[in-house]
Amino acid sequence: MKLSNGVTGFYNSEVNTLPQVDGKQFKQLCFDVISRNNGKVVDFITPQYPTNFYYAHVEIEDNQFYILLNEHFPYLAFASIVEFGNIKFINKPVLYEKFSSLYRVIGTGELNAPLTQDLLKQTELNSVELEQISYWRPETVGQIIFNYWD
């Protein structure tokens, strides 16, 4: 996966600004999709310092999980745990098609891929992001796309 400039939420404000996804649209879609699957949205969290993603805590048939959306790019993932510094990504193939018309749904294979120097060389990440990566030392692609960095 090619990591886009600004995906971490860090950028040089003098050079550029970051795109923003439509959080209201994501929230509405979560409520719609989950209710159509006989579930409920337990909580919906907007990006707040230091996170760079929206997430919905949902429950379908006693199965609780999270739907995450990067704040700046339409990258969506599912997780069983979302805690500071600990996100456990999962696949939810049944829900992929419900979100894939608006978002790039990323599976665990890509999210849990190890972060290597070769991969970093192929990214579009800016210098501020590379500094943050050097500081926080994420181990996977998912830890870059969905992070708690400050």
Q: What is the extent of the structural domain holding 37?
A: 23-145
Domain count, the chain: 1
Distance CA 48, CA 4 (A): 21
For residue 115, what pLDDT is reported? 93
Task: Kindly state whether residue 81 falls inside one of the protein's structural domains.
Answer: yes
Task: Kindly state whether residue 71 falls inside one of the protein's structural domains.
Answer: yes
Task: Kindly state whether residue 10 falls inside one of the protein's structural domains.
Answer: no
Do 75 and 6 form a contact (C-beta atoms < 8 A)? no
For residue 85, what pLDDT is reported? 83
Task: Kindly state whether residue 140 falls inside one of the protein's structural domains.
Answer: yes
Q: Look over the chain and give the mean of its residue pLDDT values, rounded to a whole number.
A: 94
Task: Kindly state whether residue 43 falls inside one of the protein's structural domains.
Answer: yes
Q: What mean pLDDT comes out for the span 30-49?
A: 96
Q: Tell me, yes or no, if the pTM score tops 0.75.
A: yes
Do 19 and 72 form a contact (C-beta atoms < 8 A)? yes
Task: Kindly state whether residue 39 falls inside one of the protein's structural domains.
Answer: yes
For residue 12, what pLDDT is reported? 73
Task: Kindly state whether residue 15 falls inside one of the protein's structural domains.
Answer: no
pLDDT digits (tens, 9 = 90+) for 88-146: 999 999 999 999 999 999 999 999 999 999 999 889 998 899 999 999 999 999 999 99
For residue 147, what pLDDT is reported? 96
Q: Which residues on neighbouring strands pair with residue 83, listed in sequence order? A: 86
For residue 15, what pLDDT is reported? 61
Task: Kindly state whether residue 131 falls inside one of the protein's structural domains.
Answer: yes
Give me the helices (H) in 3-148, please: 23-36, 93-99, 108-111, 117-121, 127-136, 141-145
Q: What mean pLDDT comes out for the span 21-43?
A: 97
